[in-house]
Amino acid sequence: MDEPKVTGTKPKMSWTRKILLILGFLSTLAAIALITVAVTQNQPLPKNTKYGIVLDAGSSHTNLYVYEWPAEKENDTGVVQQVEVCKVEGPGISGYSHDTENAGHSLVQCLRQAQGVIPSKQHQETPVYLGATAGMRLLSLENKNAADKVLSSVEKTLRSAPFNFQGARIISGQEEGAYGWITINYLLGNFKQSGWTKLLHSLKSVSETSGALDLGGASTQITFVSDESPSESPENLLYFRLYGKDYRVYTHSFLCYGKDQALQQKLARDIQSTESNSIHDPCFHQGQLYVMGEGNYEKCRRSIQNLFNKTSCPYSSCSFNGIYLPPLQGDFGAFSAFYFVMNFLNLTNDNPFALDKVASAVQSFCARPWHEVKEAYHQIKEKYLSEYCFSGAYILSLLENGYEFNKENWQRIHFLGKIGSSDAGWTLGYMLNLTNMIPAEEPAAPPLSHGSYVGLMVLCSLVLVSVLVLAWLLFHKPKCLQKGIV
Ligand SMILES: Nc1ncnc2c1ncn2[C@@H]1O[C@H](COP(=O)(O)OP(=O)(O)O)[C@@H](O)[C@H]1O
Ligand SMILES: [Ca+2]
């Protein structure tokens, strides 16, 4: 660097000095930011886990789910997760219509299991909900008195458990559809609307949420966001505001179109239409049935098709039985028996199979003789095994003939059992709603996470260190070298 000449004007500052000055200024700012962040953001948060219990009283059986979440993140999306599931022994609670007193007792063992999972000091504050679905809807239509007694029995047992009892009731088909839709979208992180996700969603013109397809034993639900406006059937529409966004959701629940009820409907039709005496056999108990299998997939599909009345539709488009169905929109998560059956048939794997491949896989399974199937899958419950052929064909009929999925949009169906550690189903959405854990508006930006805090620390330190190293290099070099630089 040249010696400054003594003149009347101020000496000109060199570029190096200017840069150093700016860097020095920036590093001072960085240090101030660092201290501010350290003081305001790095307070340790108390670790407090909360729990909730939901019993899914389905038509075939009852499942008890235990969920947990960090108390301080209650309103975030995707923080609640399933930590335990307990399958109640015996039939669903609607199966106790002739033994109503014992419906509650059947739940005792699973409630004990939940007591083991949740720390005892938190039992009292842990809410417990029971929601009964289509089995109880049917019982209530057939024999209201028996349904009420079953509900009183389960309520008595749940009240006597050490948890915070919040109610036992029959949920409507609409609720079942809506809560299933909320569950999967919550777990898939589709309600997250902050930062990059928001930007991505605005760039992509794809649907932001996933539709929900739930197949139970007694009913089945279809639920998805529909932009079709105005709706021809307002009773199928639900409006939600979740995390600051409005959703217009179509849902319908078909009672008696769960796979067990559909099989009964089909068998009843078989009996009516048969000429042969073999199906009316006096040597079997009343109500018991002997079925001679034929293993004919094509014929099976044709006989199932008769369950869907496609002849009259008072709207522009229908699924079946004159029920409005707007155009299918977006991807779909298909769970419960949709998943159990397709998983058994090895047809899930995020659905890479074309529709005709799926149909031929079901066809070959149906064609296998029963003795061979029994031997190959001896570990599987015989009731399920004997029905997988029907169930596979029924699922294809419902999706293809009922909802009119086709080979183009088939790939948009994803068969899923779990998302992370949580089962796909209506229970999580039900609990999130009843505990007010889904805010209508987007929660305020959370304080800096520990990771971001450490990242910021490292970045600021690096800036400081580089400034110092640079300064040292510039000012502590031999004079001849410095001359060369400037
Ligand atoms: N491993 C399995 N394989 C095949 N089907 C299953 C399996 N586990 C459960 N299911 C069936 O899933 C359905 C679950 O329905 P459920 O929830 O009890 O009835 P709903 O929702 O109509 O009240 C039943 O048809 C049951 O038989
Ligand atoms: Ca169910």
Compute how many other C-beta atoms are within 10 angstroms of the C-beta atom of residue 265: 15
φ and ψ at residue 306, rounded to 5 degrees? -65, -15
218 pocket-lining for ligand 1 (C-beta < 6 Å)? yes
Question: Which residue has its alpha carbon closest to ligand 1 atom 11?
Answer: 337
Domain map (residue ranges) of the chain: 15-38+453-485, 49-170, 204-434
Average pLDDT over residues 62-82: 92
Q: For residue 465, what pLDDT is reported?
A: 75
> What is the mean pLDDT of the segment spanning 127-142?
98
Chain length of the chain: 486
Residue numbers in the known binding site for ATP are 217-221
Q: What is the CATH number of domain 204-434?
A: 3.30.420.150
Residue 219 in contact with ligand 1 by CB distance below 6 A: yes
| Ligand 1 atom with least separation from CA of 219 | 22
Q: Does residue 60 have a pLDDT over 90? A: yes
pLDDT category of residue 291 using cuts at 50, 70 and 90: confident
Instruction: Identify whether the C-beta of residue 194 lies closer than 8 Å to the C-beta of residue 202.
Output: no
How far is the C-alpha of 216 from the C-alpha of 202, rounded, in Å? 35
Q: What is the distance in A from the centroid of ligand 1 to the CA of 405?
A: 23
Residue type, 203: L
pLDDT of residue 464: 76
d(CA 281, CA 360): 34
- The tokens describing 275, both together, are 């000429």
Paired tokens of 194: 């902050």
User: Burial code of 399-408, b = ≥16 C-beta within 10 A, e = fewer?
Assistant: bbbbbbbeee
Report the distance separating Cα 110 and Cα 101, nearest Å. 18
Alpha-carbon torsion (189, 195, 198, 203), positive or negative: negative
Task: Say yes or no: CB of residue 336 within 6 Å of ligand 1.
Answer: yes
What is the structure's pLDDT at 10? 59
CB of 342 sitting under 6 A from ligand 1 = no
Ligand 1 centroid from CA 94, angstroms? 14
Q: Cα separation of 434 and 52, whole Å?
A: 11
The atom of ligand 1 lying closest to the CA of 387 is 4
Q: 173: CA distance to ligand 2 center in Å?
A: 10
Please compute the mean of the pLDDT values over residues 139-156 and round it to a whole number: 98
Q: Considering only 151-160, 270-279, 437-446, which range has the smallest mean pLDDT?
A: 270-279
Topology of the domain covering 49-170: Nucleotidyltransferase; domain 5 (3.30.420)
Asked if domains 49-170 and 204-434 share a fold, the reply is yes
Catalogue the active-site residues. 176
Q: What percent of the chain has pLDDT over 70?
A: 84
pTM of the model: 0.83
> From the alpha carbon of 425, which atom of ligand 1 is closest?
17
User: Residue 129 C-alpha to ligand 1 middle, in angstroms?
Assistant: 20
The closest ligand to the CA of 220 turns out to be 1
DSSP string, 123-144: TTT-EEEEEE-HHHHHHHHH-H
Question: Which band of pLDDT confidence, cut at 50, 70 and 90, is reported for residue 202?
Answer: low
Q: Measured between alpha carbons, how far is 49 from 51 in angstroms, rounded to an integer?
A: 7
- Residue reference for tokens 């899930």: 348
- Would you say 67 and 437 are in contact if contact means Cβ atoms under 8 Å apart? no
Report how far Cα 466 is from the mean position of its chain's Cα atoms.
48
Q: Is the pLDDT of residue 434 over 80?
A: yes
Atom of ligand 1 nearest to the CA of 57: 23
Transcribe 162-206 into DSSP letters: SSEEEEEEEPPHHHHHHHHHHHHHHHTTTT--SHHHHHHHHHS-S
Beta-carbon contacts of residue 19 (< 8 Å; ≥ 6 apart): none
Whether 236 lines ligand 1, by a CB cut-off of 6 Å, is no
At 282 the pLDDT is 52
Task: Write the pLDDT tens digit of every residue in 363-385.
Answer: 999 999 999 999 999 999 999 99
Residue 340 in contact with ligand 1 by CB distance below 6 A: yes
Give me the chain's average pLDDT, please: 87
Show the CA angle centred on residue 335, arms to residues 151 and 194, nearest 5°: 100
The kind and range of the H/E element at 246 are: strand 245-255
The verdict on the CB of residue 261 being under 6 Å from ligand 1 is no
- Candidates 261, 340, 387: which one to mutate for ligand 1, based on the most atoms within 8 Å of Cβ? 340
| DSSP class of 197 | H
- What number is the ipTM of this complex? 0.99
Give the closest ligand to the alpha carbon of residue 93: 1
**Contact status, residue 219 vs residue 256, Cβ threshold 8 Å:** yes
Q: Which ligand is nearest to the CA of 426?
A: 2
